[in-house]
Amino acid sequence: AEEALKRRKCVCDGFAELFSELAKNAGLKVWKVKGKAKGVHYIPGDSIDNKKYAHAWNCTTYKGEFLFIDSTWGAGHLTDKTFEKRFEPFYFLTRPTSFIFTHLPDDEKEQYLSPPLTKEEFLNLNNVKPPFFAAGMEFREYIGHTITTNDDLIDFEITRYHPDEGQPLHAILLWNGKEVDVMIQRVVGYDASSGKVYRLQTACPSRGEGKLEIYVMFEGNKGPLAACFRVVNKGSGKNYSPFVKTFRVPFKFSIEKPTHLNLKYNKEYKFEFTIFDMKEEQHPEFSLFSPEKNIRKFHKISKCQDGSFTYGLDTKVDQKGDWKLVFSSDGKHFDFIAQYHVD
């Protein structure tokens, strides 16, 4: 601890020793914990037996609850082998149920979980980062660190408890050096007061492996990584199809059907979308514009207990080109909600 103070440099063990000494002199009960951690070099599926995953942190108790402190990770992170100072409050007084996603003590008793996780269970946990917890996120079913699909398709749901609408989710599928779109839409039928549910859908363009990354957009179009998964596709890629193009509008909506961009010429389709968090009397008119600017109006088909409204239209796409889902408040000016293409 003294050496760390003198040199102003240390690794994780030095951070933990220094924090313990500072706490001791302040009259606090804090102790050091040794173990393994999924650090900067960790890739989902890696073994953690290599010494590069060895780590040290601290633990304390507050009002009878065990809480962890990782001063090393809380002080910043490595960027291209250079340490970048950046305070991360998540790693100070972290609950065991959150800390276990990245830190595995050598002594299972120091997990302070009942029952404790085995090393195999630890390695198979979802690969999540601090923004995942800060954004109040939770996967609705166990995924693990790897998503395996036999038919190209990936489809799962996330609950966000008391989400900040100014911090939306964004996701990309990295596949063969390219970014593949991921559609994220709110799911109908869940009481927003107990959390909003979002469905994430994407498809792999070919057989192989890739990576799915989920971000929380804290600052405009930028935001930190919240979760990351290895993706293995055993399918051929035949089910891949780009999603319908959507636009920013002053209300929340989800496209129910069809969800893909390309539609077949002269085929009958059932178009449906849902509007959230908007009083019925404030709803504008919704229409489908054909390539020749013919207007086909939507009608209201249902109201859900969560306060959402679903609109629908059954029609044949009998013109080739771009079809646009639009809204208008005065019947004269129209704004885009979504766009399809008919070949």
For residue 221, the Cα-to-chain-centroid distance in whole angstroms is 15
What is the structure's pLDDT at 83? 63
Question: For the chain, which domains are there?
Answer: 2-125 (no CATH), 137-233 (2.60.40.10), 245-342 (2.60.40.1930)
What is the structure's pLDDT at 336? 97
- Global model pTM greater than 0.95: no
What is the structure's pLDDT at 124? 94
- Mean pLDDT per block of 10 residues along the chain (343 residues) reads 51 79 91 92 85 93 96 74 78 96 97 97 94 92 94 97 79 97 94 86 98 84 86 98 96 97 98 96 97 96 94 98 96 94 96
Print burial letters for 128-138: b (CB count within 10 Å at least 16), e (below 16): bbbbbbbbbbb
Q: What is the Cβ-side half-sphere exposure of residue 182, based on CA atoms within 13 angstroms?
A: 23
Cβ neighbours around 177 below 10 Å, total = 6
Name the burial class of residue 185, with classes exposed (0-12), middle (13-18) and buried (19+) by CB atoms within 10 angstroms of its CB: buried
Separation between Cα atoms, residue 274 and residue 335, nearest integer Å: 17
What is the structure's pLDDT at 75? 77
- Cβ 136 vs Cβ 160: under 8 Å: yes
What is the structure's pLDDT at 10? 45
